[in-house]
């Protein structure tokens, strides 16, 4: 008799950030995680996580809506079902519900963790096996202050915690942003790769102006300069500049990747388990990108350790991550809710070991940070 799903709990957890994190659409002082605890009839527990950025500032799902989707729509369908056939469960949810990929990702992650624990194998094995045990991780500079960003970057280079940086821009006039970026690039030098994320803030003309200046300043990559739905602008900008573009909000899943590549886009894509609807679904997108010659990058929605570990298991199965990863989410938070944090060293992070995700909840910490009302 196979184990069945007995209960699913979706818990809102609020953890302050180590400093204000300033993006084009909001400034974060706290990160909210939706932690999923899925129990089966044999007493095993699968963990999942969904995050977004700034409530509804980033996209159409909020932490609160993710919890509601899971509690009201997913849980009643999943409880009582066999836990071990993940594909059948995903087909069931796909037929009865649409969108809500953040909630879907937390559920797929919890199912994979449960399956891994049942089989005594890491999640990466369930996804075909890890090619890498240590993955490169960049850091995002987003204090909003050029001098503070430079100090932060030099400290991280010194301790070999990170050697590459992504700068969040787009909230100031284009040329002010360019000055900020160029000053940081000059301070960190040639050995550090410096990229920018505009989070859709520019129109096409501003993007053309900004990209010309950023190319001259030695910037390596420009992430989502223009609005997500304007695929044509991304294609035109990619054709105009040597400076490559990283598509983020424009590409959630394999279908989006196909559409953008078919429209003539060249560059790279930020894969995120949250956007795609789970670690396995993010890897479907990777296959399309690889076939189209689009470079791969392991992206984050600033997940805590559970979501970051799930992403790492997925990215570890890929031979080449052309632009590395940004799986630093847990380091942006003041505290963690797991017993053993991830091991960040040598400009990267180790893939966690052990069955499932290889992550265990610290019950005291969870009790402290879970939302009370």
Ligand X SMILES: O=C(O)C[C@H]1C=CC(=O)O1
Minimum distance from residue 341 beta carbon to ligand X (Å)? 19
Q: Which of 168, 185, 272, 275 is catalytic?
A: 168
Q: Would you call 168 a catalytic residue per the annotation?
A: yes
List Cα–Cα distances, 151 to 79, 174, 218, 308, in angstroms.
50, 23, 20, 26
Select from ligand X, Mn ion, none the partner in contact with residue 164, using the beta carbon and a kind-dependent cut-off of 5 to 8 Å: none
61 touching Mn ion, by CB under 5 A: no
Residue whose CB is nearest to ligand X in the complex, by number: 140
Nearer to Mn ion, 127 or 252 (CB): 252
303 touching Mn ion, by CB under 5 A: no
* Euclidean distance between CA atoms 321 and 45, whole angstroms: 31
Give the contact letters, 100-129, x = binds to ligand X (CB under 6 A), - = no: ------------------------------
Tokens of 265: 């886009």
Minimum distance from residue 53 beta carbon to ligand X (Å)? 6
Q: Would you call 45 a catalytic residue per the annotation?
A: no
| Of positions 45, 61, 197, 326, contacts Mn ion by CB under 5 A | 197
Chain centroid to Cα 294, Å, comes to: 18
Minimum distance from residue 197 beta carbon to ligand X (Å)? 5
Number of residues that bind ligand X (CB under 6 A): 12
Select from ligand X, Mn ion, none the partner in contact with residue 105, using the beta carbon and a kind-dependent cut-off of 5 to 8 Å: none
300 touching ligand X, by CB under 6 A: yes
326 touching Mn ion, by CB under 5 A: no
b/e code 17-52 from CB counts within 10 Å (16+ = b): bebebbbbbbbbeebbbbbbbbbbeeebbbbbbbbb
The most distant pair of C-alpha atoms in the chain lies apart, rounded to whole Å, by 65
140 touching ligand X, by CB under 6 A: yes
CA dihedral 106, 141, 313, 361 (to 10 degrees): -60
45 touching Mn ion, by CB under 5 A: no
Site for ligand X in 210-249 (CB under 6 A): 248
Select from Mn ion, ligand X, none the partner in contact with residue 237, using the beta carbon and a kind-dependent cut-off of 5 to 8 Å: none
Q: Do residues 177 and 170 make contact, with C-beta atoms less than 8 angstroms apart?
A: yes
Task: List contacts with ligand X (CB under 6 A).
Answer: 53, 140, 142, 168, 197, 199, 248, 299-302, 326
**Catalytic residue annotation:** 168, 326
């Amino acid at each position: 008799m196979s184990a069945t799903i007995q209960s699913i709990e979706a818990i809102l957890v609020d953890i302050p950030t180590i400093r204000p994190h300033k993006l084009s659409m909001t400034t974060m002082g706290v990160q909210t995680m939706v932690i999923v605890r899925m129990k089966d009839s044999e007493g095993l527990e699968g963990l999942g996580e969904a995050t977004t950025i700034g409530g509804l500032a980033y996209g159409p799902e909020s932490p609160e809506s993710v919890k509601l989707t899971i509690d009201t729509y997913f849980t009643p369908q999943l409880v009582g079902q066999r836990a071990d056939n993940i594909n059948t469960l995903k087909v069931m949810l796909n037929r009865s519900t649409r969108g809500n990929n953040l909630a879907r990702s937390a559920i797929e992650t919890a199912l994979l963790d449960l399956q891994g624990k049942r089989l005594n194998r890491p999640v990466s094995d369930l996804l075909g096996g890890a090619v890498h045990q240590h993955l490169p991780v960049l850091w995002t500079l987003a204090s909003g202050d050029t001098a503070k960003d430079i100090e932060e970057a030099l400290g991280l280079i010194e301790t070999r915690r990170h050697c590459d940086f992504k700068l969040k821009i787009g909230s100031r006039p284009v040329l002010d942003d360019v000055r900020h970026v160029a000053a940081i690039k000059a301070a960190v030098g040639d050995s550090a790769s410096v990229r920018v994320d505009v989070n859709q803030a520019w129109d096409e003309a501003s993007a053309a102006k900004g990209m010309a200046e950023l190319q001259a300043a030695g910037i390596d990559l420009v992430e989502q300069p223009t609005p997500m739905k304007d695929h044509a602008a991304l294609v035109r900008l990619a054709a105009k500049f040597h400076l490559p573009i990283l598509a983020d909000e424009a590409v959630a899943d394999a279908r989006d990747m196909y559409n953008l590549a078919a429209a003539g886009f060249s560059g790279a894509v930020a894969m995120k388990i949250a956007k795609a609807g789970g670690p396995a679904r993010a890897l479907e997108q990777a296959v399309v990108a690889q076939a189209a010659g689009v470079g791969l990058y392991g992206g984050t929605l600033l997940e805590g350790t559970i979501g970051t570990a799930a992403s790492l298991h997925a990215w570890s199965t890929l031979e080449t991550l052309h632009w590395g990863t940004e799986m630093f989410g847990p380091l942006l938070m003041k505290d963690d809710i797991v017993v053993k944090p991830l091991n960040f060293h040598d400009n990267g992070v180790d893939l966690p070991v052990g069955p499932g995700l290889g992550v265990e909840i610290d019950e005291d910490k969870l009790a402290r940070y879970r939302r009370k009302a």
